[in-house]
Structure 1
Amino acid sequence: MARIIVVGAGMAGLAAAARLATRDNSVLVCEATDTVGGALGSWRYDDDLVFDTGAYTLTLPAAYRDLFIKTGSRKKSAAATLEDRLDLRPIDPVRRYLFPEGSRLDLPNASRGRLVAAFDEALGAGAGAAWLRVVDHGSQVWDAIRPALIEAPGAGGRELVRLLRTTAGRRALTPLRSLRQLASGWFATPGLFLLLDDYARQAGADDPRRAPAALAARVYLEQAFGAWRIVGGMHTLAEELGQRVLDRGAEIRYGARVERIERSASGAASGVVLEGGERIAADVVVAGVDQAVLARLLGGSAREHSYSAAVTTMCLVVDQADAPTMPHETVLLAENGPAMRVHVAAEQPSAWTVHIPATSDQQPEFDEVLGLLAARGIDVRGKARVAHTIGAADRAAATGVPGGAAYGPAVNSLRSALLRSPVRQPVSGLFHVGASARPGSGLSFTALSGWHAAELIRPRR
């Protein structure tokens, strides 16, 4: 039995903790705040309204299905699977895109035929076939990286080099071409480029012009495996996973901010020091934090990295009298720069979560936001009030992510897309999981990083 400390009760840390505790290790999760979930945040207005302030759509749910099955009770009567614990439903449309010139696209869920029809109707004949070229290229990317990098704990630069030495690997990853360059021969309308740029930014690109073509895999995954929501809010996924960690015999200690990762005389990770000076010994440390935070915990300075865009999140309470009926997600695409996003859960139509592009020192005003919405046909002036605001600086203070970046380190090259911080760190006994670790950002990928850590701590026989 190993003594394991997990730093942070975000989704990656919880995923690692649940798997490691299932293997009869002694697991302690140290969480600086008073709740689980990390960036998968929520804010409670009252007993009736809870706002998801982080992700509100799940793709590749198989990552969590496997996690719940592998960490569930062996009793036949136990509610062990993901669907036993949560009401997971497909979203249709996945989201609504509002284009600057006034056109609208309701993106169908996992249907190639309906996708072509929707794109052609919104953006003109041939737009659907052009978008399917991106989807199909993303399928090639996924087929290449899934066995070599995604499903291979410990894989890294060597595996990527081997992949690029093959004709199929080079054809799929197109290492010298950006996502825009890849699509330039397929797209005949500017609206398709705006849509592609939005996918790139959601994957972490701070400059879509440099986003690697490999990000087409994100478009494919959503189309192939569908987009899903959880009735009651995405935050319930974190709560159920936190409970699973406890059910497996691990401990979650709240208000336990880790100030330093200690190292033994040999240089191996040997435990942590909490704020206030308490020392806790361990055989293994799993750090579910941003790479900049990990560098600080090790007593060094973080390497210079660019980060993805920051956002300000406004939780609006909207009077439903004459208010527009909203889909699960609405994206207000912009000619230049990131989009504004509005999330409205079906069971809470008066709770709107609005994500607005921002910087740490320049926050949008409420009236300005309402004006931007009204200009795109979503007029709730006089019907909405701000219940809560989370600025970029608030996110930076809560997570340690530089600038409060919404999607972690920037993805502006093939390497930054596929080779984030290694799960097995150069420091013996130290493992890194989360959005800035391999295999990447997003709810499902961060859960997979927890699986990578668990497999590397106790490799498969």
Structure 2
Amino acid sequence: MAASPAKVVVIGAGMGGLSSAIRLAHAGMDVQVIDRAPVPGGKMRTMATEAGPVDAGPTVMTLRPVFEELFDSVGASLSDYVTLHRETVLARHWWHDGGTLDLFASREESAAAVGEFAGAKAEREFRAFCRRAERLFTAFDGPMMRAAAPSQAELTKHVATHPWLILDMAPHRKLWGSLTRQFSDRRLAQLFGRYATYVGGSPFRSPALLGLIWHAEEQGVWRVEGGMHQLAQGLMRLATDQGVSFTFNARATRIEVQNGAAAAVHLADGTRLPADIVVFNGDPAALGAGLLGEAAQDTVPRAKTHPRSLSAYVWSYAAVPHGPEMVHHNVFFCDNPHTEFDPIAQGRMPDDGTLYICAQDRGTGRTPQGKERFEIIMNGPPVADGAEATDEEKETCRTRTFETLASFGLTFDPRPGTDWLTTPRHFAKLFPASEGSLYGRSPHGLTASLKRPTARTSLPGLYLAGGGAHPGAGIPMATLSGRHAAAAILMDRTST
């Protein structure tokens, strides 16, 4: 008799869980995905408005080849499941001094715009910065981001055989210090310093190496037709086509262990799901907190999940805007980044924070009419306690957010009430044991990226996927984590 296929239970239908489920089902395994939410996507969530669902999670899609490779790996085409539009303007940036700068999908266009914005010297500095970011990205893409379990020894060897990397990495400098040396115009240092927040860090505490994130964005930013949640829906359809089954509104409470290996997943309603393999696509800190049972509690050391990365205050709503002409991605900078990151380091809301706005209904070639959907993100600190956000905190955030935008001439009709706000404390409730952190472990420190947990845990049969695992936060990285998890599982099954 033929052996029955290995039974896999994936806890969490985020990008990492979906990615691993697709690959494992294609390899012939019996895969079931469960999620405590009613829909797939994890942090790629939405809020309902009269203009339609508005994104309330990630908004920036880069590194399209990562997603194309996932679909190609199972004989499918990304374009058959998701419609993507490449944005000509990557983002539009505003400063209080009246300066406005667009960056483009073309380096030449961006360089010309920088020159017009800040002068010929700034243009030369920008071109040099782009070359440096490209060299760093190219050097670390393979041995770091695409490696299943990068090691410090291997990376040290890689740098030793490419000594020019040491100068580019600026290993003894933080990102802010590196950027202020590269740009004589502090506004450009502030602009590229915000890329530290893409992985939940402060430019004052994150390594200079994170400047390479710019090259990922320079390669192209894509708008998902219908909103970012449609990407998760597309992956779910692909997974279903591969034979994956889904159960939503199902909360996992315990990973059962037998004979020293994962053997089943128990749900809050008493259901027991037998499993040869369990993939956990939640915050790895939940395991250490004992939220999946005592047997799984020691599988991920605390040093791999702490200290925590940034959280955020997120507004998702529909309104009619009045003021400056926005594109799909927009950034309104505060005067001094210290007024943003110093309070966050102290566990407080920014006194004056930079505000990012995704104008969901805008993009290349689109001029919306009437009410539009918007997502505004202001960085915030993670929260260690489980207290609810107070009405005072919410109203303070509302005042600081919309008064800041009004100072740029941007207003909304109507101005949203606090019901449309997600606070760090709300994120902490949505994602157990996360402390509201949206990016997993903090990226602060030169070797922080090596301290994240990888796909394998110390418990046989239990694997990790998602933004809290290697290679880190962001939808391309979370998707890659699913590939790493599937590869580790298939390798271990073959080895066994």
Quick check: 1:11–1:38 contact (8 Å CA) kept in 2?
yes
C-alpha distance in structure 1 between counterparts of 2:177 and 2:161, whole Å = 22
Q: Which residue of 1 aligns with 2:43?
A: 39
1:286 equivalent to 2:279? Answer yes
* Paired position in structure 2 for 1:195: 191
| Superposed displacement of residue 262, structure 1 | 2.3
Q: Secondary structure at the match of 1:94?
A: strand
Q: Distance in 1 between matches of 2:286 and 2:118?
A: 44
Counterpart of 1:299?
297
TM-score (norm 1): 0.90
Corresponding residue of 1:90: 86
What SS is found at the alignment partner of 1:185?
Answer: helix
Are 1:355 and 2:377 matched, yes or no?
A: yes
> How far 1:420 sits from its partner (Å)?
1.6
The CA deviation at 1:388 is: 2.3
Q: Say whether the 8 Å CA contact 1:291–1:302 is kept in structure 2.
A: no
Partner of 1:77: none
Match of 2:347 in 1: none
Q: Secondary structure at the match of 1:458?
A: helix
Give the Cα separation in 1 of the matches to 2:263 and 2:332.
48
TM-aligned CA deviation for residue 418 of structure 1:
4.3
In structure 2, the CA distance between the partners of 1:453 and 1:121, relative to structure 1 (3 Å rule), is same
Match of 2:416 in 1: 385
Partner SS state of residue 176, structure 2: helix
How do residues 161-176 of structure 1 correspond to structure 2 at under 5 angstroms?
161-168=156-163, 169-176=165-172
Partner of 1:179: 175
Q: Please, what TM-score do these two structures have when normalized by structure 2?
A: 0.84
State whether residues 200 and 311 of structure 2, in contact with CA within 8 Å, keep that contact through their aligned partners in structure 1: no
SS of corresponding position for 1:413:
coil
CA distance in structure 2 between the partners assigned to 1:128 and 1:271 by the alignment: 58
- Return the alpha-carbon distance in structure 1 between the equivalents of residues 307 and 83 of structure 2: 37
Query: Structure 1 255/156 Cα, relative in aligned 2: closer, same or farther at 3 Å?
Result: farther
| 1:66 and 2:75 aligned | no
2:251 corresponds in structure 1 to 257
Structure-2 change in CA distance of 1:157 and 1:433 (3 Å): farther
Superposed CA RMSD in Å reads 2.3
CA distance in 2, matches of 1:151, 1:403: 28
1:211 to 2:215 alignment: no
Whether the 8 Å contact between 1:215 and 1:417 is mirrored in structure 2 is no
Asked if structure 2 preserves the Cα contact closer than 8 Å seen for 1:33 and 1:254, the reply is: yes
Deviation (angstroms), 1:20: 0.6
Check conservation: 1:149, 1:155, Cα contact below 8 A.
yes
Q: Is the 8 A contact 1:199 1:219 kept in 2?
A: yes
Are positions 1:54 and 2:57 aligned together? yes
The CA deviation at 1:332 is 1.4
Partner of 1:240: 234
Between stretches 409-418 and 342-351, larger displacement belongs to 342-351
Inter-partner Cα distance in structure 1 for 2:272 and 2:153: 37
Q: CA deviation at 1:4?
A: 1.0
Offset of residue 323 of structure 1: 5.6
Give 1:324 deviation, angstroms. 4.7
Report the residue type matching 1:339 in the other structure: T
Aligned residue for 1:402, secondary structure, equals coil
Name the CA distance, whole Å, in 1 between partners of 2:141 and 2:52. 39
Q: Does the Cα contact within 8 Å between 2:146 and 2:471 map onto a contact in 1?
A: no
* 1:22 Cα deviation after fit: 0.9
Corresponding residue for 1:268?
261
- Which of 140, 146, 154 aligns to 1:151? It is 146
Indicate conservation of the 8 Å contact 2:34/2:247, yes or no: yes
Q: How many residue pairs align between the two structures?
A: 447
- The one-letter code sitting in structure 2 at the alignment partner of 1:250 is V
Q: Is the 8 A contact 1:3 1:282 kept in 2?
A: yes
- Residues 418 and 133 of structure 1: is their aligned pair in 2 closer, same or farther, counting only changes over 3 Å? farther
Q: CA deviation at 1:157?
A: 3.6
Once residues 416 and 423 of structure 2 are traced to their aligned partners in structure 1, the CA distance between those partners, rounded to angstroms, is 17
Check 1:52–1:17 CA distance in 2 against 1; reply closer, same or farther (3 A cut).
same
1:396-444 deviation per Cα after TM superposition (whole angstroms, max 9, x unaligned): 1111253312333211122213442111222222211111111111111
Contact 1:424 1:431 in 2 (8 A): yes
Instruction: Please say which of residues 293-302 and 349-358 is displaced more in the overlay.
Output: 293-302
- Point out where structure 2 has 5 or more consecutive residues left out of the alignment: 341-352, 384-388
Partners in 1 of 2:254 and 2:159 — Cα distance?
Answer: 38
1:103 maps to: 99
- 2:486 alignment partner, one of 436, 454, 457: 454
| CA distance 1:325–1:181, change in 2 (3 Å) | closer
Change (3 A) 1:353 1:162: same
Please tell me the residue identity of whatever aligns with 1:281. P
CA distance in 1: counterparts of 2:465 and 2:132, whole angstroms = 28
Per the alignment, residue 404 of structure 1 pairs with 436
How far off its partner does 1:302 sit?
4.0
Letter in 1 for 2:355: M
**Does the CA-based 8 Å contact 1:269-1:428 persist in structure 2?**
yes
Q: What CA distance in whole angstroms lies between the structure 2 residues aligned with 1:277 and 1:138? A: 51
1:172 positional shift: 4.8
SS at match of 1:408: coil
